Amino acid sequence: MAIGEARHIFVSFLIFALPAGLTLLQPDLGSASILGSIWLGFLLVSGLPRRWIVAVLLLIMVVGFAGWHWFLEPYQKERITGVFYPERNVLGINYSTNQSKIAIGSAGLWGKGWNQGTETQLGYLTEPSTDFIFAALTEEWGAAGALAVLVAFFLLIYQLLKIGAAQNSNFEHLIALGVAITFSVQFLVNAGSATGIFPVVGVTFPFLSYGGSSLITGFGMLGLVYASRRQTAI
């Protein structure tokens, strides 16, 4: 089966668009972005002709333009523009990101110690256990602790890609690839929000942010990959 055929792209778009649209209505821009990134990631590795890739990117631009003018809430627009103008409204929409940068920048090599982070423990850093868990960890464990977490995460992604490359069928290959894409996008958005690279959209850091549903979902996805791995000797 040619995954990159037009009819398969259209069907996959419908499968993605329904839950993504319902998620946006909540509104939950972060989760919808994750779904969109997974769909786009699958397209990029499915052997699409270059013209189709260009067409998909143009479609994304059109959807983004329409979303900005007719669907995004005012506070969501402010979060996006805040990435480009971090000096604006530092006590409002940019407050959390600025406090996160202070927490990371003041950590040093070894951090301030367990439960000794001023930004985290005194309440200046908002949502330190979820949205800004990376900043909280860096403040108390320093650059060394942050590096250890990043190395462990990249090793996990490497293993997922290795397992996916060893599979014999597209289905098993795409399971591992999809899980790797999901974890990678979650990491990029969460860590990017903490450092001011991306807007704050409430995406968890895989296996680090507090939250039972996130943890169960993450381990469930790893279980799917492991189940497919048992069929192939790595």
186-219, pLDDT tens digit by residue?
999 899 989 988 888 878 899 998 878 888 999 9
> What is the reported pTM?
0.83
Q: What CA–CA distance (Å, rounded) separates 97 from 103? A: 10
Residue 88 confidence (pLDDT): 79
Grade residue 30 by pLDDT with cuts at 50, 70 and 90: confident
- pLDDT over threshold 50, residue 1: no
Q: Tell me whether residue 55 is exposed, middle or buried, using C-beta atoms within 10 angstroms of its C-beta: 0 to 12, 13 to 18, 19 or more.
A: middle
Q: What would the mean pLDDT of 176-182 be, rounded to a whole number?
A: 89
- pLDDT over threshold 90, residue 80: no
- pLDDT over threshold 60, residue 232: no
Terminus-to-terminus CA distance in the chain, angstroms? 25
Q: What CA–CA distance (Å, rounded) separates 29 from 64? A: 12
Residue 199 confidence (pLDDT): 85
From 122, 70, 125, select the one nearest 101 (Cα to Cα): 125
What are the residues whose beta carbons fall under 8 Å from the beta carbon of 60, sequence distance 6 or more?
A: 36, 40
Alpha-helix residue ranges (DSSP H) falling in 25-132: 29-44, 50-66, 74-84, 95-105, 118-121
pLDDT tens readout for residues 126-155: 888 888 999 999 999 999 999 999 999 999
